Amino acid sequence: MQDGQTPTPDRTAPNGAGATAVNAHGDAAASGTEIDATGHHEGVGGQRGVAGGGNGFGTATATRGGTRVGGRTVIMGAGPAGLCPAYVLSKAGVPTVVLEKAPFVGGLARTIKRQTEHGEFKFDIGGHRWFTKNDALNDLFREVVADELLWVNRISRIYFDGKYVDYPLKIGNALQAIGPVTAARAMADYGRIRVQHRLRPEPILSMKDAYVDQYGPTLYKLFFERYSEKVWGLPCDEVSGDWVSQRTKGMSIMTAVKDAVVPSKGKVVSLIDEFMYPRDGFGRFSERMADGVTGLGNEIRLNTGVERVHREGNRVTALTVSTEHGQERVEGDNFISSIPLTLLAQIVEPAAPAAVLDAAKSLTYRNVITVNLMLKKRQVTNDTWLYVHDRNILFGRFHEPKNWSAAMVPGEDYTSLVIEYFCSFGDQIWGMSEEELVERSIKHLVEDMGFIARDEVIGGFTIRAPRSYPVYTMGYENAVQLVKDYVAEMENLQIVGRYGTFRYNNTDHSIETGLLAAKNILGEQHDLDQVNADQEYHEIKRVREPVGSATA
């Protein structure tokens, strides 16, 4: 590991109330394990915490806007967005039960362990770094992860045509990498676009419109088109511009130049260069929240899939769940759903109107398969992520867990790579076997990129994560709105998270919706739709001096 890349223990982590005893979780995953966000997961029975609902905690006292304040709360899904409200409500003494279809907590944000004769390797489902502009969420993360927290330097680059460029794009560095002639063309056509848009403003509809508006046609083609098409599996003019505005709002060549020349109002805090990470993998965040929930006497029921949502008038009265012992009815006062919005709409009884069901079925997701390679080698690169744009290389990006935390590999002579393939049901990549994907990854890394030697590979396996990216196809927002309006009729049901809201939320925004849902149950009033609706680039925060503790 290089200097400046060594993760350091947290400088300020307090001893939080949630820092309960830590158990070992996340057993070795079977090869080719499938983590299905819609919960199509088979497994053995499992249960955390005490059984039953009436556990002596606070009882319902009042109703506010359909929510029974302090009433028994039933949460669907034990990813971060479901566990966060469970954790907050448990601390407030509210009886809560979490129902999780999989045999583990953490959802997409979990960490998998793999035992080998060399020792234990750990893998996130694609590296998960913690970053947020919200101090309350940072405090929660620190409280939960407590003494396991590390600070990690971030060095991410784009690999294209055998060259490297910093990511997120730094204009000077990008122009240098493409050479003076292309750089001059890039700046000239960016200028032309700016003038054109000023004289004849055009609505930004597609992802292509949004990138061209921010960076001009040349830089778009070089640095955004190829990678975006790998991720989404669609031409950029068929993907809504919403994704770009959500992710890179306020970023453009213009703002980069302005920020360099004109002093901005308030200090700019970059969340790009350093991030927080739990020492033993991102999944520890969920596991520790789960420990907090069960330690406070509430219940997390694994292998318990929600199959039906029973509605009477404008209230949800109960759920039917499927367990290893058969079907069961689970009743509650308040309900929070982090299961896919598309699934939720289809399992309500009596059934939703046909238009709502059609809208739910029209929404699609993109899948991810990770190839996890274990290596007898000290380090492959010093990158946090390497984004691979070349079309002849089938995967989209990889990260090296050891660069995030030394505890992710058995010792200093070992490293590993998590290689991400973006795909859809029925396409070439999804149809490849584990063996083919591992071999294909090794071939690219050895022959096309020269990063590793074949005899350094100890082994490899895949994890399939279906439906991991909600796809913003053109016009998707009308379908989402129709489904959300229907769900909103059920006044004691709140939707949270990434799938839960069909919104491209990272963990911070996912748990923010969960946190606000919990606060609503505690008697406050928050509009969950306002989460992740910022007008500013989500990795930049402008604050008045002094700078907050968020980025230290």
Ligand X SMILES: Cc1cc2nc3c(=O)[nH]c(=O)nc-3n(C[C@H](O)[C@H](O)[C@H](O)COP(=O)(O)OP(=O)(O)OC[C@H]3O[C@@H](n4cnc5c(N)ncnc54)[C@H](O)[C@@H]3O)c2cc1C
State how far the Cα of 427 lies from the Cα of 154, in Å rounded to an integer.
Answer: 33
Residue 498 phi, psi dihedral angles, 5° rounding: -95, -60
CB of 499 to ligand X, least distance (A): 6
How many residues belong to the site for ligand X (CB under 6 A)? 39
State how far the Cα of 331 lies from the Cα of 309, in Å rounded to an integer.
Answer: 10
59-118 residues near ligand X, rule: CB under 6 A: 76-82, 99-102, 107-109
CB of 263 to ligand X, least distance (A): 31
Q: Does 363 bind ligand X (CB under 6 A)?
A: no
State how far the Cα of 229 lies from the Cα of 234, in Å rounded to an integer.
Answer: 5
CB of 365 to ligand X, least distance (A): 10
Q: Does 37 bind ligand X (CB under 6 A)?
A: yes
Between residues 252 and 424, which has the closer beta carbon with respect to ligand X?
424
CB of 527 to ligand X, least distance (A): 18
**Of 31-39, 218-226, 294-302, 404-412, which part binds ligand X (CB under 6 A)?**
31-39
| Residues in Cβ contact with 37 at an 8 Å cutoff, skipping those fewer than 6 apart | 107, 108, 340, 365, 465, 466, 467, 468, 499
Q: How many CA atoms lie within 13 A of 9 on its CB side?
A: 5
Q: Does 367 bind ligand X (CB under 6 A)?
A: no
Buried b / exposed e over 528-537, threshold 16 CB at 10 Å, is: beebbebeeb
**Of 45-53, 127-135, 248-256, 448-456, which part binds ligand X (CB under 6 A)?**
127-135
CB of 30 to ligand X, least distance (A): 16
Give the x-and-dash track for 447-486 against ligand X (CB under 6 A).
------------------x--x------------------
| C-alpha distances out from residue 147 to 18, 345, 409, Å | 11, 40, 19
CB of 474 to ligand X, least distance (A): 22
CB of 467 to ligand X, least distance (A): 8
* 369, 528 contact by CB (below 8 A): no
Q: Does 388 bind ligand X (CB under 6 A)?
A: no
Q: Does 494 bind ligand X (CB under 6 A)?
A: no
416-445 residues near ligand X, rule: CB under 6 A: 420
| Residues in Cβ contact with 535 at an 8 Å cutoff, skipping those fewer than 6 apart | 249, 250
Q: Does 7 bind ligand X (CB under 6 A)?
A: no
CB of 46 to ligand X, least distance (A): 13
Between residues 416 and 507, which has the closer beta carbon with respect to ligand X?
507
Q: Does 242 bind ligand X (CB under 6 A)?
A: no
Is the peptide bond between 168 and the residue preceding it cis, with omega within 30 degrees of 0?
yes
Q: Does 246 bind ligand X (CB under 6 A)?
A: no
**Of 13-21, 154-162, 326-334, 494-502, which part binds ligand X (CB under 6 A)?**
494-502
State how far the Cα of 334 lies from the Cα of 69, in Å rounded to an integer.
Answer: 9
Amino acid identity of residue 526, one-letter, is: H
State how far the Cα of 117 lies from the Cα of 334, in Å rounded to an integer.
Answer: 48
Q: How many CA atoms lie within 13 A of 24 on its CB side?
A: 5
Among 72, 122, 128, 503, binds ligand X (CB under 6 A): 128
Between residues 211 and 499, which has the closer beta carbon with respect to ligand X?
499
Between residues 26 and 80, which has the closer beta carbon with respect to ligand X?
80
Burial of 337 (0-12, 13-18, 19+ CB in 10 A): buried
* 496, 517 contact by CB (below 8 A): yes
Between residues 71 and 305, which has the closer beta carbon with respect to ligand X?
305
* 95, 72 contact by CB (below 8 A): yes
Q: Which residues bind ligand X (CB under 6 A)?
A: 37-39, 76-82, 99-102, 107-109, 125-129, 305-306, 338-339, 368, 420, 465, 468, 497-500, 505-508, 510
